[in-house]
Chain A
Amino acid sequence: MFKSRICVLAMIVVLFAGLVPTWAQTVASKSDEGKLIATLTSPDASRKDKADACRQLSIIGTKAAIAPLASLLGDPEMSHMARYALEPIPDPAVDRAFRDALGKLSGRPLVGVIASLGVRRDAEAIEPLTKMLMDGQAGPLAMAAAVRTLGLIGTVGAAQVLTVSLDHAPPEGMLDVYEGLFRCAERLAAEGNGEEAAAIYARLRQVKEPHQVRAGALRGAILMRRGRERATLIREHLGSDDYVLFAAACQTALDLPAPGITRVLIESLPQLPADNQILVIQTLGKRGDVASLPALFDAARTGPTEVRLAAIKAMPEIGEASVVPVLAGLMADADGRIAQTAKESLASLQGPAVDQVVMTMFESPEMDKRQVALDLMGRRRMTQAVSVLLQAAGGAEGRLRPAIIRMIGELGGPDRLPALLALLDGLESPQDLDAARQAMSVVCAKADDSQAASDMLVDRLGQSKPPQKIVLVRVLSGVGGPTALAAVRRAVDDPDGDVRAAAIRALGTWKTTDAAPELLALAQSADNATEKMLALRSYVGFAARRDLPVEVRLAMCRQAAGLIERNDEKTLLLGTLGGIDSVEALGLIEPYLADSATKQEAVVAALGVADRLLSHRDAGQYAAKLIAPLEKVAQAAPNDNLAERARTLLAQARTKAGQ
């Protein structure tokens, strides 16, 4: 899917490639300034021309451009672009130009110029802006822009004007006044005028609505205080009935790493309702202060489930060894959600202390605990546990042994193969043997040197009892290679029938096609009818592999067709042929159309092949060759539906063949 997307993108690139050079460049040459200025004043220049000139002048404009640009500030069409050019020019004359324009403009151009004065933080604009606010004639948009700009200027003088505005601004303009005051406070604080900033926050804290203002004011007030005063203010609001202020106190605490703040948060917990407790617990988790752990442990053990869960989830964020036994204890909680969450939290904790807890848990006589420990070993990728697992698997384990053996495979490397082979000798139950097969297959798949693994398996194969041999030949089929193939081929002659059958099946699942001739030979020569059938079916299974060339698959099918006797084998072969997109496949299917026992499968297989060939982009090449086979298929079709489908495909074939 993504390849096709990339292709589409590449086409877009090609389509646009020729256009790029025709577009104007973003940056003009400095030597062009004169021409650009001339464009601004030219009666022949279009609005677009002038806008482009302004954009270029915003980057290269000098003092020479200021007056011509300023002359456009009153032009409703060009005012914005004039500001666009003027704002970034680092020359005090720009500030003067904007201030001069204040008294001459109205409407949107005035709003824009006021905004530009703010961007430039022009302290000399405070006076005219104050007059404008006192006059009250500039309109709501300009007044709003003025208070925001005063905030950006951010001097003590600007703050005084804004504070007065708090008592006089209309309701719809209050948000802008608040914004201006916040900006002022931030700037004053940044420049070391903490007292003035604190006074602004104190004033804003008297505002009850909107919520974001009282929250922002509290945050500002907390940050402006120090030490005990700061902690006191947070404590006061952690107990607030106003959830907005409570949440703001928690949020601000996230930015304050001092231990005293942790203590305040902890002390607040018992008095709070559940929702608030959750937020405080989450805040404690994010702060990562180990001092909060005793409180989190208490919260995790008792209380409302949601609060307990929050406390358990907070523990890994702090990640300290003392949480391990607590989480381990909670894993036995009667509430399944608590137990599961504790397990997940424990699993994610880093460090050897946690690993040791898991190892100790695995030594428990209680099966459930051992099972949990085993899960945790896998989840934590505790490769150091493999030795213990091997020991346990070889001991008196019962129900848990298969899981333990699989975990050895999951965590162990190829160096664990000898130990697994030794373990295999003592296994008897089918579950244990199958687990060993899985474990050995997994560790062999991790081996860089598959030949070494193969040699070990082959060596063991010669010394093993039948149940173990069955396991080993299956593992060898996954490992592959000539040594393994030869060993499995020898196992086909084993005195034990189950081993022989397993060996034939192992050949059928071989990774590479070099097992196919062995299967064909067996299908041709085996004395045992069951083994002959098994070999033949496995051989046909090879022919079904779509990763093989069509010609190879067809050749296999021809070989198989000569050996097949039973109807179910014919059905298997037809299923395989039906998956090969080739006209030749239809030829191999055709003989089965006449047999009532195989007719239906043959028709379905043939129609499948024909349908795909006719849908192919090169269908014209095949169409003529499909006509005769499809005519036979249509005649042989055992029911109306298949006959109709055959006729439809036949018509398509004739059309595409030009007939």
Chain B
Amino acid sequence: MSQRKSSLSRRAFLGRTAALAAVPYIVPASVFGRNGAVPPSERIILGGIGLGGRGTGVMNWMLPEKDVQFVAICDPQRQRRQRIKEIVDSRYGNKDCVMYHDIREFLATRTDIDAVLIATGDRWHALASIYAMRAGKDVYSEKPSAMTIQEGQAVVDTARRYGRVYQSGIQRLSEGNFTFANELLRLGYLGEIHTVRAHIAPWDAAEMRHDWLPEQPLPPKDEVDWDAWLGPCPWRPYNVAYTQGQWRNHYDFHTSCIGEWGAHTFAQCQVALDLWKTSPVEYGYVANDSGDGMVMRFANGIKMVLERDMDQKIWHGSCGVRYEGTKGWVAIADGYPRCEVSNPAWHSDFQKLVEDYVARTQRPMSHVRDLFNCIKSRRQTVANPVMMHRSMSTVHAANISMWLKRDLRYDPVKEEFVNDDEANRFRSRAMREPWTI
């Protein structure tokens, strides 16, 4: 299945251009001997793993970046990898995007690729990230970063082990309005924070499906490699609906209505509170089907409340957060022209606060650009593995509380539930061979 490598790999684009003018246009990365660490003046060679609708959107967000070249796509579904190839080839005006169906072959052979974009669906995010980082790639992975607490730990360990740069698709951490809200909190505009509210998806439930869709004839492996599609998840018979997005809300493949948006909003809140290296210590079970109203408490006493907000009393957009303090509050969600605040005078500080944040942190208001800058500077991204692991641990713990229908206490240092064997058993799931770590 493997085809030839891309004819175009890395080439200089800044000050190095003149020095390299005499170098042939077709230059593999190995000529520079620098694959794995991209100097400021060179291009980043990208590949994709499992890009559907969302992944294509992120890829299209990446392609205009001038120091990026997308060269290959890996997907167990033929139609999807062909579609990506057509988009990429059309953009570059060539036929160079190479297709792979086997992630192991892809990662083993494409040593020229610096970074991969992963948007496979929840079940593969952690494993593909681990495989890619182990193969020396930097990673942009869609959320959620992991299906279990243990998977998240493995992502953190692998990134640290090989010095890899990893960004999770929590793009609101790189958007002006959400940044403004976080800065209002950080700079004390809101006073002492006592409560943050995090939006969870208003559809589905915390309990997910355990049924199997009716078995359909297995397509040829080149069309859909079903074993690879399932990856580390328990086997089940093939049904095309899974491959068309209807894996959502199945326990084996999804992280529930809490994870669907909580992967974003919990991360937003924990970053705003500067609690992204820890997790809440208490989870209060609520007797409904979604977790709506669940109160989670951090060790410092701050409450994080899950809000389904079906009647839009808090937000009128998706993935909202609201921070409440002794001096005021701020609320933001997708589609807002600007934050809703208790004190409208704060709006006049919008530009200053966002620009100060950018200059102080050197984080651009572009999530993919942050990744590319970090690939070159080797610093951590804004949605780095630790932050994602901790906020996803919050998601997993909230889910576990709902599944067990009881309050839980969590030790963020040991990363285990306190005196609750059943809850602790949920921290990992045995991965299906050979898709183990």
Do chains A and B interact in one complex?
Answer: yes
B161 touches A251 (CB 8 A): no
A59 touches B310 (CB 8 A): no
Question: Closest A-chain residue to B111, C-beta based?
Answer: A210
Binds A, one of B35-43, B64-72, B295-303, B390-398: B35-43
Chain B interface size, as a band, is 35 or more
| Shortest beta-carbon distance from A170 to chain B in Å | 13
Instruction: List residues of chain A with CB within 8 A of the CB of B421.
Output: 90
Binds B, one of A279-287, A417-425, A481-489: A279-287
A2 touches B335 (CB 8 A): yes
Chain B window 36-78, contacts with chain A (Cβ cutoff 8 Å), 1 for yes, 0 for no = 1101111000000000000000000000000000000000000
| Shortest beta-carbon distance from A142 to chain B in Å | 9
Cβ-based interface call for B228 (8 A): no
A306 touches B15 (CB 8 A): yes
Cβ-based interface call for B217 (8 A): no
Cβ-based interface call for A115 (8 A): yes
Cβ-based interface call for B359 (8 A): yes
Distance of A414 Cα from B163 Cα, bound (Å) = 54
| Shortest beta-carbon distance from A568 to chain B in Å | 37
A379 touches B351 (CB 8 A): yes
B431 touches A26 (CB 8 A): no
8 Å CB contacts to B: which residues of A12-54? 12-13, 16, 20, 23-27, 48, 51-52
B310 touches A10 (CB 8 A): yes
- Report how many residues on chain A are interfacial, defined by Cβ distance under 8 Å: 95
A60 touches B14 (CB 8 A): no
Cβ-based interface call for B318 (8 A): yes
Chain B window 424-437, contacts with chain A (Cβ cutoff 8 Å), 1 for yes, 0 for no = 11111111111011
8 Å CB contacts to A: which residues of B342-363? 345, 348-349, 351-352, 355-356, 358-362
Binds B, one of A312-320, A328-336, A648-656: A312-320
What total count of A-B pairs have CB within 8 Å?
227
Cβ-based interface call for A6 (8 A): yes
B163 touches A278 (CB 8 A): no
Cβ-based interface call for B194 (8 A): no
Given contacts A23-B208, A80-B234, A216-B163, contact A243 B33 (CB under 8 A): yes
B360 touches A2 (CB 8 A): no
Which secondary structure dominates chain B's binding surface? loop
B210 touches A26 (CB 8 A): yes
Cβ-based interface call for B317 (8 A): yes
Instruction: List residues of chain B with CB within 8 A of the CB of A186.
Output: 157, 161
Binds A, one of B80-88, B89-97, B197-205, B238-246: B197-205
Distance of A203 Cα from B396 Cα, bound (Å) = 38
Chain A window 232-250, contacts with chain B (Cβ cutoff 8 Å), 1 for yes, 0 for no = 0000000000111011101
Distance of A179 Cα from B201 Cα, bound (Å) = 38
Pick the contact of B210: A52, A58, A183 (CB < 8 A): A52
Pick the contact of A275: B40, B211, B404, B424 (CB < 8 A): B40
Cβ-based interface call for B370 (8 A): no
Chain B window 396-437, contacts with chain A (Cβ cutoff 8 Å), 1 for yes, 0 for no = 000000011100000000000000011011111111111011
Distance of A379 Cα from B348 Cα, bound (Å) = 11
A254 touches B379 (CB 8 A): yes
Instruction: List residues of chain A with CB within 8 A of the CB of B358.
Output: 348
Pick the contact of A285: B133, B136, B362 (CB < 8 A): B362
B351 touches A215 (CB 8 A): no
Cβ-based interface call for B340 (8 A): no
Distance of A272 Cα from B359 Cα, bound (Å) = 26
Cβ-based interface call for A291 (8 A): no
Question: Closest A-chain residue to B405, C-beta based?
Answer: A27
Distance of A38 Cα from B316 Cα, bound (Å) = 51
8 Å CB contacts to A: which residues of B222-257? 234-236, 249, 251
Binds B, one of A81-89, A154-162, A294-302, A617-625: A81-89
Instruction: List residues of chain B with CB within 8 A of the CB of A87.
Output: 428, 430
Pick the contact of B433: A1, A111, A316 (CB < 8 A): A111
Which secondary structure dominates chain A's binding surface? helix
A175 touches B135 (CB 8 A): yes
Cβ-based interface call for A480 (8 A): no
8 Å CB contacts to B: which residues of A262-297? 274-276, 278-279, 282-283, 285-286
Instruction: List residues of chain A with CB within 8 A of the CB of B377.
Output: 279, 282-283, 286
Question: Closest B-chain residue to A349, C-beta based?
Answer: B359
A80 touches B432 (CB 8 A): yes
Given contacts A20-B289, A80-B432, A243-B34, contact A3 B161 (CB under 8 A): no
Pick the contact of A244: B36, B135, B424, B429 (CB < 8 A): B36
Cβ-based interface call for A431 (8 A): no
Question: Closest A-chain residue to B211, C-beta based?
Answer: A23
Instruction: List residues of chain B with CB within 8 A of the CB of A317.
Output: 360-362
Distance of A206 Cα from B259 Cα, bound (Å) = 43
| Shortest beta-carbon distance from B250 to chain A in Å | 10
B430 touches A80 (CB 8 A): yes
Instruction: List residues of chain B with CB within 8 A of the CB of A84.
Output: 234, 429-430
Cβ-based interface call for A119 (8 A): yes
Residues of B near any A CB (own CB < 8 A): 14-16, 32-37, 39-42, 108, 111, 133-136, 150, 157, 161-164, 201-205, 207-212, 234-236, 249, 251, 289, 310, 312, 316-318, 333-335, 345, 348-349, 351-352, 355-356, 358-362, 376-380, 403-405, 421-422, 424-434, 436-437
Other than the given A244-B36, A251-B378, A279-B377, 13 more pairs (CB < 8 A) read: A5-B318, A25-B403, A51-B235, A60-B422, A90-B421, A111-B436, A112-B432, A115-B437, A145-B436, A247-B378, A279-B39, A282-B379, A317-B360
29 contacts between A and B (CB under 8 A): A10-B202, A26-B251, A51-B235, A52-B210, A77-B235, A79-B433, A84-B234, A112-B436, A115-B433, A115-B436, A116-B430, A119-B430, A145-B434, A210-B111, A210-B136, A213-B162, A215-B36, A215-B163, A243-B39, A251-B378, A275-B42, A305-B15, A306-B40, A313-B359, A313-B362, A317-B361, A319-B360, A348-B355, A348-B360
8 shortest A-B CB distances, which residue pairs?
A: A348-B359, A211-B36, A112-B433, A212-B136, A247-B37, A88-B425, A115-B436, A275-B39
